[in-house]
Amino acid sequence: MHRGLRWLWLGSVAIGVLSDYLFYGKAFGISYPLFVSGLYALFFWQAKQQSQLTFSRDQLFAWLLTVPIVLLALTFFLFDNTLLRLLNILAVPFLFVAQTMLLTKRHRQSWYSLGFAGEMMETVLLYTLKYTMIPFAFLRHWLKSRMDRKKYGVAVKILAGIGISLPILLVVLTLLSQADGVFGHLLAKIPSLLFDFDSAEALYRLLRIGLVALLIFGYFYAVIGPKPQEVADKLLERSEEKRIAWDGVILVTILTIINVVYVSFTIIQISYLFGGAQAVLPADMTYAEYAKKGFQELVMVTIINFILLVSFMHLVSRAQPVIYKFVQAMLSLLTICTSFMLFSAYFRLSLYEEAYGYTQTRFLAHAFMIFLFVLFVIAFLKIWRNDFSLLKYCGIAGIAAYVVLNYIQVDAVIAQNNIHRYYETGRIDVAYLIELSDDAIPIIATLREDKGIGGRIEYYLQEKRDRLQKERSWQSFTIARYVAKTHLQQE
């Protein structure tokens, strides 16, 4: 690594260590201005090394920005206003980015123009992330010079698959742990089985330090290093001469990691939710709580899985037939596991409805899950048939599903289900029932003779009858209103 880059990288690692020391497990206080001081120290040191700083009149505003940045950073030490702290967490980095770009003249627009805000976003979101790859580029060249070419290629693809799967797993495991208490309970025990808690915590903190170091390195290189389209781009071009392709090895690695989690989750679903194995639930969890918890999380995971499924089908390379067949098998397994998740979510919501009644939101959630299942069936066909148009049939399914939803009389179905539940349990939410549309009136009218709630229903129907008796123009005529009016006129 070039000497200047080496020192910038070491300084960035030092900032990462400082952030861990100041912030990990601690509330903001004097730590925030100290961290900002560390950022300033690294910036001024590296900018001076690269001869990037000048003291001129046209940069007076840039230098004066130090005052509000320092004062805002000190508020974390001086005061305790929660709202202002939240705002300052965003304000201080924003001003720091503006100042450092102005001082190093990494801008074309005036600081008071909208174009400057766009340049800030470009620097932070584009160049910073782009330049975080520079340390990996050097590491790759170093490994490549010391490893067999074929083994190096496979190792890089596997590492790439692991790296890509980690953020996906972070989101998925979080959702699955919230969705299923047993899965979360077992997942929490895994670290203690593999290594002690201190080791797991140390690994997590090292990852945090590495991430902070990469981001600091990328940003400072963007504002201090060679300007865009110069040396850094040439360096990245060399590292990407044989750029990692989304071939079978990468996708197999990602899918294997994800499917291990999903298969484990599916087994737990079958054993605990559908098998009724209540005896081994966590001590603080009842079976009822377990059954109704996690619906939203499971649906979120299902949506994520569909996005992954569609993306992987487009990204996979067909150059290696054997690996491609294995990817197809892994995608099929992903589809099957997701179907179990959908069934689990559907089953949980059904149990919840049996306990608390049927509503439009819950009904539409059921319908959405059925639609998702149809999409997964279409995707499954696409996995094994390359000539199958995924977008075409998903579009057709979407239009058909929407039409069906409009014609099944949602409110009438909801009323019917609530009345059926009332006959079985004796519980019904009359207040919600009477808020349903005219579609439900013929069903609700069947309760007029009920001894328990007949009086309340009759009072409600009388109000409905009075409303429907009001004259309306023929242009406002509807079959639903006519049928409702007919039922209400019957004695």
Query: Taking the domains of the chain in order of start, what are their residue ranges?
Result: 3-103, 147-195+243-395, 410-489
Q: Would the pLDDT of 314 be above 50?
A: yes
Neighbours of 369 (CB within 10 A): 20
Query: Regarding predicted confidence, which is higher, 323 or 29?
Result: 29
What is residue 241's predicted lDDT score, i.e. its pLDDT?
44
What is residue 77's predicted lDDT score, i.e. its pLDDT?
87
The CA-atom distances, in angstroms, between 485 and each of 211, 267, 439, 473, 489 are: 67, 52, 11, 15, 6
| Mean pLDDT calculated for residue range 430-438 | 85
Task: Band the pLDDT of 404: cuts 50, 70, 90.
Answer: confident
What is residue 472's predicted lDDT score, i.e. its pLDDT?
67
The CA-atom distances, in angstroms, between 285 and each of 180, 269, 276, 294, 394 are: 11, 15, 14, 13, 39
pLDDT digits (tens, 9 = 90+) for 469-486: 776 676 677 788 888 888
| Mean pLDDT calculated for residue range 128-148 | 76
| Mean pLDDT calculated for residue range 436-452 | 86
How far is it, in rounded angstroms, from Cα 333 to Cα 372?
16
Percent of the chain, pLDDT > 90?
A: 12
Q: Would the pLDDT of 281 be above 80?
A: no
Q: Would the pLDDT of 2 be above 50?
A: yes
How far is it, in rounded angstroms, from Cα 358 to Cα 417?
7
pLDDT digits (tens, 9 = 90+) for 200-227: 677 778 888 989 999 999 999 988 887 7
Q: Would the pLDDT of 43 be above 70?
A: yes
Q: Would the pLDDT of 228 be above 60?
A: no
| Mean pLDDT calculated for residue range 232-240 | 48
CB 454 within 8 A of CB 447: yes
Region for residue 196 given its phi and psi (left: phi exceeds 0; alpha: psi -120 to 50; beta: otherwise): beta
What is residue 394's predicted lDDT score, i.e. its pLDDT?
84
| Mean pLDDT calculated for residue range 40-67 | 85
| Mean pLDDT calculated for residue range 11-25 | 91
What is residue 279's predicted lDDT score, i.e. its pLDDT?
44
User: How far, in whole angstroms, is CA 332 from its chain's centroid?
Assistant: 23
Maximum C-alpha span of the chain:
94
Q: Which of 141, 166, 157 is nearest to 246 (CA)?
A: 157
Span of 57-66, 156-165, 187-196, 245-254 with lowest mean pLDDT = 187-196
Amino acid at 194: L
Q: Would the pLDDT of 189 be above 70?
A: no
What is residue 40's predicted lDDT score, i.e. its pLDDT?
94
Average pLDDT for the chain? 79
CB 430 within 8 A of CB 456: yes
What is residue 16's predicted lDDT score, i.e. its pLDDT?
93
Q: Would the pLDDT of 142 be above 70?
A: no
What is residue 245's predicted lDDT score, i.e. its pLDDT?
46
Task: Band the pLDDT of 42: cuts 50, 70, 90.
Answer: very high
CB 135 within 8 A of CB 217: yes
CB 184 within 8 A of CB 173: no
Helix then strand then coil, % of the chain, to nearest 5: 80, 0, 20
